[in-house]
């Protein structure tokens, strides 16, 4: 049988053969379906792009029904077990795992870009002490574009390489500065003898000691969390990165928009919302009442559900295992029992089962971050740091894709028909 769709337009009786390619039909192939020569032709209508492939990509692949997540073909479970964040970043950006020599060079290059211009400190000092760190983060990334005007040269591979290194290396520094600002503590300079994640912990938590020594268990746990959050197909913030980048904005400006999308409580802000929800629940005894309020539609169970995963988010499974390792060091997080009871009840309740709602990446991550000493408002920032790699990889793939142009969707207009201006004195 041919890979085509035969469409009969019952308005005209005409038939059309539309090719099926990689599980999709091209929306533009529907434009030929018209009732007469003046007809614009058929569009597709897909609010929130629930069933629309916006691009062809080779970076990340998710099987939502089977709970599978692959970065460049490698299962997330294997990368979490054997890789580290910067190696995974290299894989996402370059498409292949680095050799030992390539990895050493890559890590050295990243480490040389961790410093921030001194003016950035003045810029960040302008925020109130209680400014949300994600607001500081996305504003400061946007401000970075003014320090690197060469970033506008987006079709120069050298320029993209330089901006890639700057962004990956500097977002942890920006995040750490935002945290230190909120704590009223002095900024800490990078220590490039430490690992990427070890240095991040250093810039966050170093106090009066001469040299900060990260706890190896927490350093590894955070590094694995960064691996898990690095990329995830065409999620909301990545779509924002691609859309802004399609207008040929520089990568700092595009990434600002992506971070703004991630900030939303339905997306990367969910891990913060989960912690606030668990705090509000307060005890295991209150869980049944909360489940009822979710089922009645009063609220959503934050950290549950996913547009793509209709089974357990594989990242949530790994995060649950990391939680035990972290709590062994930091001491138990009492809110874990509430989370486990929520999951236990939800996974057996028809409301959640029918809607295929399972814990997602955000359900347990906040518990670990809190145990590590982070305030909930830092959680979306901890998501943005690793996702910077995915945003850049997807942005570059879009730029180099010959099929991609400036994103400009159509609409179905249901507003007023053309009418004439009414003078003020005649308006009712």
Is the four-CA dihedral 378, 380, 383, 384 of positive or negative sign? negative
Restricted to residues 210-229, the positions that interact with ligand SDX (CB under 6 A) are none
C-alpha 142/C-alpha 124 separation (Å) is: 12
Residue 202 Cβ vs ligand SDX, minimum distance, rounded to whole Å: 27
Determine, following the binding rule CB under 6 A, whether residue 235 of this chain makes contact with ligand SDX: yes
DSSP string for residues in 331-353? ---THHHHHHHHHHHHTTSHHHH
357-362-365 Cα angle (round to 5):
135
**Pick the catalytic residue: 306, 313, 349, 401?**
306
CB 169 within 8 A of CB 114: yes
Let me know how long the chain is.
428
* Closer Cβ to ligand SDX, 267 or 276, answer by number: 267
Q: Which two tokens stand for residue 380?
A: 């979306």
Neighbouring C-beta atoms of residue 48, cutoff 10 Å = 8
Q: Which residues contact 426 (CB under 8 A, 6 or more apart)?
A: none
Determine, following the binding rule CB under 6 A, whether residue 361 of this chain makes contact with ligand SDX: yes
Residue 399 Cβ vs ligand SDX, minimum distance, rounded to whole Å: 21
Q: Is residue 377 annotated as part of the catalytic site, yes or no?
A: no
> Which residue among 14, 26, 355, 410 contacts ligand SDX (CB under 6 A)?
355
Site string for ligand SDX, 297-326 (x = CB under 6 A): ---xxxxxxxxx------------------
C-alpha 77/C-alpha 323 separation (Å) is: 16
> Which residue among 57, 256, 360, 388 contacts ligand SDX (CB under 6 A)?
360
Residue nearest ligand SDX, CB atom distance: 305
C-alpha 125/C-alpha 131 separation (Å) is: 11
C-alpha 125/C-alpha 136 separation (Å) is: 10
Determine, following the binding rule CB under 6 A, whether residue 294 of this chain makes contact with ligand SDX: yes
The candidate with the shortest Cα–Cα distance to 385, out of 280, 237, 278, 240, is: 237
Residue 235 Cβ vs ligand SDX, minimum distance, rounded to whole Å: 3
Give the residue carrying structure tokens 């972290």: 326
Stretch that binds ligand SDX, among 121-129, 240-248, 260-268, 281-289 (CB under 6 A): 260-268
Q: Which two tokens stand for residue 25?
A: 């039909």
Residue 66 Cβ vs ligand SDX, minimum distance, rounded to whole Å: 16
Residue 253 Cβ vs ligand SDX, minimum distance, rounded to whole Å: 20
* Closer Cβ to ligand SDX, 48 or 417, answer by number: 48
**Pick the catalytic residue: 9, 153, 267, 401?**
267
C-alpha 144/C-alpha 292 separation (Å) is: 46
- Between the alpha carbon of residue 205 and those of residues 112, 151, 215, 371, 418, the distances in Å are 21, 32, 11, 14, 62
**Pick the catalytic residue: 362, 377, 401, 402?**
362
For 84, list phi and psi in degrees, rounded to 5. Answer: -130, 175
C-alpha 337/C-alpha 332 separation (Å) is: 10
Strand 4-9 relative to strand 14-19, pairing = antiparallel
Q: Is residue 232 annotated as part of the catalytic site, yes or no?
A: no
> Which residue among 254, 357, 389, 393 contacts ligand SDX (CB under 6 A)?
357
For 178, list phi and psi in degrees, rounded to 5. Answer: -60, -40
Q: Is residue 132 annotated as part of the catalytic site, yes or no?
A: no
Q: Which residues contact 407 (CB under 8 A, 6 or more apart)?
A: 54, 242, 243, 246, 247
Residue 264 Cβ vs ligand SDX, minimum distance, rounded to whole Å: 8
Residue 98 Cβ vs ligand SDX, minimum distance, rounded to whole Å: 24
Stretch that binds ligand SDX, among 127-135, 181-189, 278-286, 354-362 (CB under 6 A): 354-362
> Which residue among 160, 232, 242, 320 contacts ligand SDX (CB under 6 A)?
232
Stretch that binds ligand SDX, among 147-155, 265-273, 400-408, 410-418 (CB under 6 A): 265-273
Site string for ligand SDX, 107-136 (x = CB under 6 A): ------------------------------
Residue 275 Cβ vs ligand SDX, minimum distance, rounded to whole Å: 12
* Closer Cβ to ligand SDX, 120 or 302, answer by number: 302
Determine, following the binding rule CB under 6 A, whether residue 185 of this chain makes contact with ligand SDX: no
Partnered with residue 66 across adjacent β-strands are none
Q: Which residues bind ligand SDX (CB under 6 A)?
A: 232, 235, 266-268, 270, 294, 300-308, 355, 357, 360-362
Q: Which residues are catalytic?
A: 267, 306, 362
């Amino acid at each position: 049988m041919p890979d085509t769709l035969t469409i009969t337009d019952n308005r005209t009786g005409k038939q059309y053969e539309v090719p099926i390619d990689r599980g999709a039909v091209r929306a533009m192939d529907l434009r030929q379906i018209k009732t007469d020569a003046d007809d614009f032709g058929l569009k597709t209508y897909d609010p929130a792009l629930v069933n629309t492939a916006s691009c062809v990509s080779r970076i990340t692949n998710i099987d939502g029904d089977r709970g599978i997540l692959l970065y460049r073909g490698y299962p997330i479970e294997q990368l979490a077990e054997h890789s580290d964040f910067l190696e995974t970043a290299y894989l996402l950006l370059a498409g292949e795992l680095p050799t030992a020599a390539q990895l050493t060079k890559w890590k050295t290059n990243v480490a040389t870009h961790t410093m921030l211009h001194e003016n950035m400190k003045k810029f960040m000092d302008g925020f109130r002490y209680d400014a949300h760190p994600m607001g500081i983060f996305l504003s400061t990334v946007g401000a970075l574009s003014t320090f690197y005007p060469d970033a506008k040269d987006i079709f120069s591979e050298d320029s993209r390489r330089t901006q890639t290194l700057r962004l990956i290396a500097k977002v942890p520094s920006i995040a750490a500065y935002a945290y230190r600002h909120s704590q009223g503590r002095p900024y800490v300079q990078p220590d490039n003898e430490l690992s990427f994640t070890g240095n991040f912990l250093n810039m966050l938590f170093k106090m009066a000691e001469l040299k900060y020594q990260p706890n190896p268990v927490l350093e590894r746990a955070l590094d694995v969390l960064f691996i898990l959050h690095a990329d995830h197909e065409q999620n909301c913030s990545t779509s924002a990165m691609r859309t802004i980048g399609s207008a040929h904005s520089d990568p700092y400006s595009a990434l600002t928009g992506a971070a703004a999308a991630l900030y939303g409580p339905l997306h990367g802000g969910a891990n913060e919302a989960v912690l606030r929800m668990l705090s509000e629940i307060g005890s295991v005894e209150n869980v049944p009442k909360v489940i009822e309020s979710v089922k009645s539609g009063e609220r959503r169970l934050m950290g549950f559900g996913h547009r793509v995963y209709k089974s357990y988010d594989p990242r949530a499974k790994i995060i649950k295992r990391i939680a035990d390792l972290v709590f062994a060091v930091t001491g138990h997080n009492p809110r874990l029992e509430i989370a486990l009871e929520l999951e236990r009840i939800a996974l057996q309740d028809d409301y959640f089962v029918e809607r295929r709602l399972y814990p997602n990446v955000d359900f347990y991550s906040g518990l670990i971050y809190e145990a590590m000493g982070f305030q909930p408002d830092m959680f979306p920032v901890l998501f943005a740091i690793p996702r910077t790699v995915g945003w850049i990889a997807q942005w570059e793939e879009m730029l180099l894709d010959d099929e991609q142009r400036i994103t400009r969707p159509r609409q179905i207009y249901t507003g007023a028909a053309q009418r004439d201006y009414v003078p003020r004195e005649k308006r009712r």
